[in-house]
Chain A
């Protein structure tokens, strides 16, 4: 579990995060939802330690991360896996070498044979067992995301952070990536935090959703609760999605479209 307490962050005097407090639960897909420029990615970068918040604290399973000693921060960082928006694969390495890299660096006690087995396992888990010898430039955007996930889970991370995992992907591939993240979260009981503005992801895998608006947390709840939320900014955000608008229109016309929509997503059938 990750606890974020009263985080504030400004850039050149402009506040971007304004006292955000929230909890990301273990074994769940926690979604940071909001429009562009609402501070989602900044909050994520503060949590993983790429940025230092001006005020506030972040706790990983009871261990305070912010302002703690470098050894403690390093120990926590080694439990973190992250999927970047652009995948951030090392372009001088093959797919297999990318997945092996954190093992080489973080677990020197593993033998080369053990590392190879782990790489094969992780690549198989994300469905890329035959792509190990390819270079990142030779694979598609969706495959890059899968490699990013494999690299994140290779050292058996406890916390998985995903920065807009669906950006630049077609809807079908997006759903597959969402499903993969969801499966991995439950399979390994990982605390997963996903930054997104994609309502498809909310409906697919949003077990715990935190809505940010203009640097503030305005709402949190589950995907079942979000459609009935009364916060005007959240409703405006949700119904700006053409997919949700279409479902709402069907709901109004057939008296039950939204319910069917929610039931469909609940049963895992997708949209």
Chain B
């Protein structure tokens, strides 16, 4: 465990020493941002809209006390979405999509000697291959989380009003009640930390793949499971530290 952690720290250090030219890094980061961010918009949108919808319907199902106002449903959807569902569920979805892609891509490059080819050319392969992926994830995860927040709250609105469990006015009143702007900051901090964990762990697993196709598959699986565990541990740690 400690050896792996030490290797991970050395891996990250190697990435930031002897970096490539700024223009190369910029172009690579933009390319990766498209793969990580733009290509994930559809899945993040679908997941977050339905999670918002389900949250709204299930809270309405549980809130049967006539003394509790209907606007509480909107309030709870907003709080759950911003504090937990949008950053954590989005990051877990991205761990599956982006994490496996990063680990699989780097693992394939390793076993087909493409990483060795970069090294022989005198190019710092971690700086060229890994740093842009981590920077792109740090850039795109918070943006996707903001999108997820919006769509989740919208999903809750549509589910609540279309199924008739509450009025639009109650829902809007609920989502405007006792709004704390710091919760958004907290969610974005979480998104940034999760971005680093998913991209860093997945890149680490992929970069040090040895063997053949079977091991690339194992690296992808390991990247996803380790990223999800890391997200959940970090989720608890950040909640305990920052709230």
Chain A contacts to B: CB under 8 angstroms:
48-50, 70, 74, 77-78, 80, 82, 84-86, 88-91, 102, 104-106, 108, 161
Contact = CB atoms under 8 A, between A and B. Distances in A.
Interface stretch (B46-54, B110-118, B160-168, B170-178): B110-118
Interface stretch (B2-10, B58-66, B119-127): B119-127
Given A105-B20, A108-B21, A77 B121 contact: yes
Given A105-B24, A108-B21, A88 B122 contact: no
Contacts of A84: 113, 116-117
Contacts of B24: 104-105
B113 A78 contact: no
11 contacts: A50-B119, A50-B120, A77-B120, A82-B120, A89-B114, A91-B112, A102-B121, A105-B20, A105-B123, A106-B122, A108-B21
The 3 closest A-B pairs by CB, nearest first: A77-B122, A88-B113, A88-B117
A90 B114 contact: yes
B228 to A, nearest CB: 27
A75 to B, nearest CB: 8
Contacts, number: 46
B18 interface: yes
Interface string B79-117: 000000000000000000000000000001000111011
Nearest to A90: B114
Nearest to A89: B114
Contacts of B119: 49-50, 77
Contact of B117 (A74, A78, A82): A82
A70 B18 contact: yes
A111 to B, nearest CB: 14
Contacts of B117: 82, 84, 88, 90
Given A70-B18, A105-B24, A108-B21, A86 B122 contact: no
A86 B112 CA distance: 7
A148 to B, nearest CB: 9
Nearest to A76: B122
Contact of A50 (B21, B112, B116): B116
Contacts of A77: 119-122
A88 B20 contact: no
Contacts of B123: 105
A88 B121 contact: no
* Listed residue (A48, A74, A88) with the most chain B CB atoms within 10 angstroms of its CB: A88
A78 B122 contact: yes
A78 B119 CA distance: 10
Given A86-B113, A88-B114, A105-B24, A49 B120 contact: yes
A117 B121 CA distance: 21
Contacts of A89: 114
A78 B121 contact: yes
Interface in B12-44: 18, 20-21, 24
Contacts of B18: 70
Pick from A48, A70, A105, A108 the residue with the most CB of B within 10 Å: A105
A89 B112 CA distance: 8
Nearest to B111: A86
A257 B108 CA distance: 48
A117 B119 CA distance: 25
Contact of A80 (B21, B108, B112, B120): B120
A49 B116 CA distance: 10
B21 A106 contact: no
Nearest to A161: B120
Contacts of A78: 121-122
Nearest to B113: A88
Max chain A C-beta neighbours (<10 A), residue from B20, B21, B117, B119: B117
A141 to B, nearest CB: 13
A91 B112 CA distance: 10
Contacts of A90: 114, 117
A3 B119 CA distance: 21
Contacts of B114: 88-91
A90 B112 CA distance: 9
A106 B121 contact: yes
B7 to A, nearest CB: 16
B123 to A, nearest CB: 6
Nearest to B124: A74
